[in-house]
Structure 1
Amino acid sequence: MNPPPSPPIAHVHVILKPLTPPDALHTLEEALRAVGMGYDFSPQPGGVLLCLGGDGTLLGALRSGSACFGVHVGNLGFLTATNLAGVGEFLRALQAGFYRVEKHLMLEAWLDNQDSPFVCANDLVITRKDVYGILELRLFVEGVLANVYQVDGLIVATPLGSSAYNISVGGSVVHPLCQNILLTPIAPHSLTQRPLILGAHVQLSVQTQKTCLIVLDGQSHHLMRPDQELKIQQAIPQATLLQPLERNYFQVLREKFSWGGGYV
């Protein structure tokens, strides 16, 4: 028999989505006890995080830099490893070391005079503070003016986040293990504006002519003023996802987005 591809896991730290259904938590704890997996509800640095919820719960955990996997009880579950029906099987695979470790690019960004950077696993969105008006965003790549967007907003996404907000506004789907930064305008006021895919090594900066919002992974937001510059680059820590060996990204795409209609 071939040796396991990854180190066996004997203990997990459980993170719950807000208002987790009691029956879901009960089912998870039964599965953990049935396979003899140690667990607690106090995440520790360097530990493995089990995220009971949907993609939002998992994204919040990924930004911590810990290895994570998701057990799906949300609406989409695009990034999660399994659902409650299959959690026992995946826990046994973790104990035996038969799982895959995926390293995904994250982004970091900071405003002028900011002490520590923002970090996102899916996307950073620069968007209007008000429901009306147009944003004029000046994009610099490696210090050179590359584009001036007149838009409702601009998505700066990782490959992992390419299938999130990015795809809903016409951005490209990029395999999540690629090393790229995606730029997708939201409702551009010009027919010539198109999505842009860059290498992960580039350093970007954005300037705005009016106060706008920076939204990180759809979960937190910050104000950006006209006198500030937003700098963006790949983060040093990567997001670490644990996935089943048999998981196939394109099968997930087909199932979640109903690609191919009724064809198998």
Structure 2
Amino acid sequence: MSSLLNGTRRKSNSESDSISMDLEGDQSITQKMVKFDLSDNLTDESDGGSYYNGVKRRTANARFSRTSQEMEKGSFSFENMNLLDNFKNKGFGQKFRRTKSLYGVMPNCKFGPCGSILDDSATSLTIPDPGSQKLNWNKPPLTVLVIKKMYDENALSAFTQLVKWLIQEKHMVVYVEKAVLDDAICTGNPVCQELQKKIKTFEEEKDELTNKIDFVICLGGDGTLLYASSLFQASMPPVMAFNMGSLGFLTPFNFQGYREQVTQVLEGNAGLLLRYRLKCVICRKDSHISKIPHVKQIQRSHSTVQSKTHMLVFNEVVVDRGQSPYLCNIDLYVEGKLVTTVQGDGLIISTPTGSTAYAVAAGASMVHPNVPAIVITPICPHSLSFRPVVVPAGVEIKIMVSPEARNSAWVSLDGRNRQEIFEGDSVRITTAQYPVPSVCAKDQMDDWFESLAECLHWNVRKPQKPMPGLVESPSNNSMTGNSDSS
């Protein structure tokens, strides 16, 4: 039986809304109305028997599927979040690992008897639920970029095994950086020499990879993932990172089970963590690009914008005093307004991912990568009250050398492309529209907290020993709020 579902939203006297669905097709149920209440089970307004209950189940499953597809395409709005959670709690969509959304609760936008928030649907947020971000291949991936840590003999064996398996078993076209094959440890390896005939090479800043690569695999430490990000200054393919470095905060996979793990990803059975990047543009004095109102509107096609002054940054933008003996004196603007003047060693503007890198060493809070935000952290400020702050992801941050500064400043982007800025120059930063889609080993939350514990030893201390024979007195109970009122 073919059914057409027309969903209309109905107001009820209770706080929860109802979804009415008119079933058309079979004459025996054409005029029957199914009501799905957000707080109740599926109920019908007339007796329909087991046949009608089956229709209700198929109807709900169809609505869940459509709602899930809207979410994955980015058209799923906050309004439908509770509806989707309710479907999941009722047993629909078991393919989703999480039963609740990672969104916060929807705020009640009625303020007292008369007040409410102004409806502005043009700027409403319609991003996918972070907990339900799954990899989907529109077509089977054919090309893979393998990035190996340079000058590392330990990664060479894994590199040759992986490349050989991808070519022979998965029949994929493998790209490798030319510098990796020219490395002395690779040129002296016979297996690596044999593989050179079957792989394609590229050179950084010479070859464009954006439309050539379907999938990226990193073998190394966190630096390999940063390097992979720098190669794709627009849309980036999904990246899977194997830990072969020193820290491994951003590389959640172990190489031992690489065959099963890579196969799962190639089949689309993987969660994604979208790691925000920053769009950074360095505008020189009297350049016409400095007159563009917002950095979001600045494109790489502008004639005065070159690759080293217009970049997508994975971790952080750092402005510091360089080798000068004087304090760094720079003005910080947020959305065009001067908010403070920084006097110290410098300033760090970081992504949530970068909050656990240089920023955390400078005293910033660690922010989960799914949180849309920008972290502003001073470096050794000459002020005890200058604390790190977190601002919304969509703001434009502008940094300029103060007119009262005794020296210039230096800018580095993810530790690279270091260049000097002078009075009148500006560094303009906002969140980029192209994140890094990082494949999860477990899921978005477990991977992050495991990295905090294993790599940064977050909150590691010897546990306090219990005190033998300690008897709680009434005074102790009252202090802990457990006293018996009787």
For normalisation by structure 1, the TM-score amounts to: 0.89
Structure holding more helix per residue: 2
Q: Give the match's secondary structure for 1:82.
A: coil
- Aligned partner of 2:151 in structure 1 is 19
In the TM superposition, what is the alpha-carbon distance from 1:262 to its structure 2 partner? 6.2
Give the partner amino acid of 2:163: E
- Aligned partner of 2:278 in structure 1 is 107
Correspondence 1:249 to 2:419: no
8 Å Cα contact 1:103-1:177 kept in structure 2: yes
Worse-matched range after superposition: 49-58 or 176-185? 49-58
- Aligned partner of 2:429 in structure 1 is 232
Worse-matched range after superposition: 43-52 or 222-231? 43-52
CA distance in 2, matches of 1:262, 1:28: 39
CA distance in 1, matches of 2:382, 2:171: 54
8 Å Cα contact 1:35-1:91 kept in structure 2: no
**Which residues in structure 2 correspond to 1:141-152 (within 5 Å)?**
141-152=334-345
**Which residues in structure 2 correspond to 1:47-58 (within 5 Å)?**
47-58=214-225
CA 1:110–1:76: 2 relative to 1, 3 Å: same
**Runs of 5+ consecutive residues of structure 1 not aligned to the other structure:** none
CA 1:33–1:118: 2 relative to 1, 3 Å: closer
8 Å Cα contact 1:13-1:44 kept in structure 2: no
- Aligned partner of 1:216 in structure 2 is 413
In the TM superposition, what is the alpha-carbon distance from 1:200 to its structure 2 partner? 0.7
Correspondence 1:119 to 2:312: yes
- Aligned partner of 2:5 in structure 1 is none
Correspondence 1:91 to 2:245: no
| CA offsets 1:116-146 (integer angstroms, 9 cap, x no match) | 4222011000012215221011101111110
CA distance in 1, matches of 2:248, 2:417: 20
**Which residues in structure 2 correspond to 1:1-12 (within 5 Å)?**
2=95, 5-7=134-136, 10-11=141-142, 12=144
8 Å Cα contact 2:252-2:447 kept in structure 1: no
CA 1:226–1:80: 2 relative to 1, 3 Å: same
Give the partner amino acid of 1:103: L
| CA offsets 1:149-192 (integer angstroms, 9 cap, x no match) | 10101000000111001101111100111110100000001101
Aligned residues: 264
Which has more radius of gyration? 2
**Larger RCO of the pair (alpha carbons < 8 Å, separation 6+):** 1
| CA offsets 1:26-83 (integer angstroms, 9 cap, x no match) | 3433554686362412455252111222111111212413222212211111111413
- Aligned partner of 1:62 in structure 2 is 229
8 Å Cα contact 1:31-1:87 kept in structure 2: no
8 Å Cα contact 1:27-1:84 kept in structure 2: no
Q: Give the match's secondary structure for 1:240.
A: strand
Worse-matched range after superposition: 19-28 or 54-63? 19-28
8 Å Cα contact 1:37-1:91 kept in structure 2: no
In the TM superposition, what is the alpha-carbon distance from 1:249 to its structure 2 partner? 1.3
| CA offsets 1:176-228 (integer angstroms, 9 cap, x no match) | 11110100000001101110110011111111133221111123312211231
CA distance in 2, matches of 1:263, 1:90: 35
8 Å Cα contact 1:70-1:79 kept in structure 2: yes
**Which residues in structure 2 correspond to 1:154-173 (within 5 Å)?**
154-173=347-366
CA distance in 1, matches of 2:347, 2:369: 20
- Aligned partner of 2:250 in structure 1 is 79
Q: Give the match's secondary structure for 2:261.
A: helix
8 Å Cα contact 1:14-1:39 kept in structure 2: no
Give the partner amino acid of 2:389: L
8 Å Cα contact 1:35-1:92 kept in structure 2: no
Structure holding more strand per residue: 1
CA 1:109–1:263: 2 relative to 1, 3 Å: same
CA distance in 2, matches of 1:141, 1:87: 45
Give the % identical residues: 28
Q: Give the match's secondary structure for 1:236.
A: coil
**Runs of 5+ consecutive residues of structure 2 not aligned to the other structure:** 1-93, 98-133, 176-200, 202-208, 288-303, 464-486
Give the partner amino acid of 1:99: A
- Aligned partner of 1:29 in structure 2 is 163
Q: Give the match's secondary structure for 2:341.
A: strand
Q: Give the match's secondary structure for 2:219.
A: strand
Give the partner amino acid of 1:190: S
Correspondence 1:186 to 2:318: no
